[in-house]
Chain A
C-alpha cells in the first residue's frame, strides 16, 4: 500500500483538463508535429531501407564491385575474371557474376516505357536468399525469358494480374521482345520503381553495349565458418585495384551511405522532421506558457501556503510529460495508418519499427519537456506577496 502514501492530487492533469478545448488543441498540435516527424523520418528511413532491398536479398558473403561504382544507380563494370581469381582463395566456395543496369520496360497495357532495374545472372547460380528462386531461375534458361518483380510500381502494367490469371505476358525491354516466365518479390526503391531478373544470356541480348567480360557485381560465397572480414581483406590485397571487395554488410552500408552523403534526400527529410519538432515546440510552449500565466495567482497561493517553487516546477514538468504522452498516442496511431496507406500506394517498405516509435516518442518528450522548461521561467513571476 506504499503507493497510497506517495499518491498526490493529480494537479498537473487537473490544471490541463480544466479547459478541455485548449487541451484538445494542444494534443492536436503535438500530434500534428508527431505525425510530421513520423512521416519525414519514415520517408528517410524508407529511402535508406529500400535502397538496399535487393542487397539484403543477395545470397552472398562477399561482394565484388568496381571502385568507380557509386551506388546501385551508377554501377561501373569490372572484369569478370576477378571472380575466377577470387576462387583461388581457399575460403571461397563459389562465385556468381551479376550484371546490373537500367533498361526501358514497355508497359504491355498502355505501351508506355519506363526505366526498370535489370539483373542478369547465370540461372544455375543461386543469387537470392529465396528457396523458391532456384526453381524460377530454371525458367530463365530459355532465351528472352524474364522474372518480373511483382512489387514493382503499377506504372509497369498489370503484369502480376495478367500472369496470375494465366495470360501470357509479353512485352519489350530495351526494344527487344521478352516473355514474363514468373514473378519474384523484391520491392521498388527510391532508385528503381521496378525490377526484373533474367539470365546473363538474355541480359546481354537486351543490353548488347555491355562490354564483353564485364560485370557490375560479383557474388562470393565462402565455406562454412569462414571469417568474411578476414577473407575480404585478403582478397582486397591480392586482387588488382580495378575491383573492390566488400562484405555483404559493407555492401549494404556502401549503398546507404550514398543516399545519406551524396544526395540531399537524407538532409531534406531530417530537416522536415526538425521542422515538425520546432512546430511542436511552439505549440506546446504556447499552451504551457498561457497555462502558467492563467494560473499564476493559484501558483502564488501555493507558494504562500509553503509550497516550494521547485514543487511548482514539477507540476509544469508533469503537464509537459502528460502532453507528450497524450500527443504521442494519436500521432503513433495516425503514423501507423499513414504508413499503411503509403506502403499500399508506393510499395515502399515504410514500417513502424520499435526504433522509430521510441525515437519519435523521445523527440516529442524532449519537445514537451523543453517547452515546459521555458514556460517554467514564468513561474518565477508568481509573487506570493502580491496575492494579498
Chain B
C-alpha cells in the first residue's frame, strides 16, 4: 500500500467538537433530517458512550466524525480539523488518525490476525516492514492474542476477532477511536472485558473513544454517556 503525506493533526483538549451539526438523507420531498443541530464535545482520553434507539442518527454521527461522509451543515471539528468543506483527500488523510472498530469486526479474511493488525500499522509513515510487524505483535500481545497471531479470522472466536479489531484500530496510533456496537455479538463477560481493554489501552495511548452501544452492561465503564433521539443529543 502506498501512503499519502501525513496530515498534521494537532491535539488539543477537544478531540471532537460539533456545533449545530445537521445532516440530511434524500432530496426534494423525500429529504429527511437525520441529525438536528447536534452539539457535542469529546475531550482527550475521554470514553463517551452514545446511546439511543435504532434510526435515531447514531451511526450517521459516527460516520461524520469518522470523516466517512461529507459534512453538510453546521460545524464539525475533529482532531483540530474542520470537516465542513473538507476535501475528500483531507478526510482520507484524517482517517489515518482515527481508529475504527466495527460491529462485524470487518477483518480481512485472507490475512492472519497479525497481518490484519499490521494493515493498521502500515499506515504509519517511515517504518520498515519488520518494525510494522513488531508493532502488530506488540498489539496482539496487549490484547492477549500473541499465541493466535498466525490464525486466520475464521479460526478465531467472536471475542478474539473483536480483540484483533481493537489491536488493528490502535496499531496506527490513532488519536480518536470510534466503535460501533463492539460488544453486541459478545456475551456479557467478554463484552465487559473488551470494553475494559479498550478503555485501558485508549488511556495509555491518549486516545479519545466514542462508542455507540445499546449494551446497558457497560454503561458504568464510560466517562460520559450521551443519549440521542430523533437526531438530537440530550
Contact = CB atoms under 8 A, between A and B. Distances in A.
A304 B2 contact: no
Contacts of A301: 102, 106, 108
Contacts of B96: 305-306
Interface stretch (B14-22, B62-70, B224-232): B62-70
Interface stretch (B49-57, B118-126, B185-193, B200-208): B118-126
Nearest to B4: A308
A233 interface: no
B1 interface: yes
Nearest to A2: B128
Nearest to A312: B1
Interface string A315-329: 100000000000000
Contacts of B104: 387
Contact of B129 (A5, A11, A303, A388): A5
Interface residues of A, number: 31
B10 interface: no
A388 B63 contact: yes
B102 A388 contact: yes
B100 interface: yes
Contact of A385 (B1, B68, B120, B168): B68
Interface stretch (B77-85, B109-117, B214-222): B109-117
Decide if the interface of chain A is mainly helix, strand, loop or mixed: helix
B118 A304 contact: no
B103 to A, nearest CB: 8
A18 B110 contact: yes
Contacts of A17: 110
Interface string A172-204: 000000000000000000000000000000000
B119 A310 contact: no
B123 A307 contact: yes
A338 B62 CA distance: 61
A14 interface: yes
Interface of A: 1, 4-9, 11, 14-15, 17-18, 295, 297-298, 301-308, 310-311, 314-315, 384-385, 387-388
Given A9-B118, A306-B96, 18 more contacts: A4-B128, A11-B111, A15-B110, A18-B110, A301-B102, A302-B108, A304-B66, A304-B95, A305-B172, A306-B97, A307-B1, A310-B2, A314-B2, A385-B68, A387-B102, A388-B62, A388-B63, A388-B66
Interface of B: 1-2, 4, 59, 62-63, 66, 68-69, 92-98, 100, 102-104, 106, 108-111, 115, 118-120, 122-123, 128-130, 168, 172, 180
A-B complex: 3 closest residue pairs judged by Cβ atoms:
A306-B96, A306-B95, A7-B129
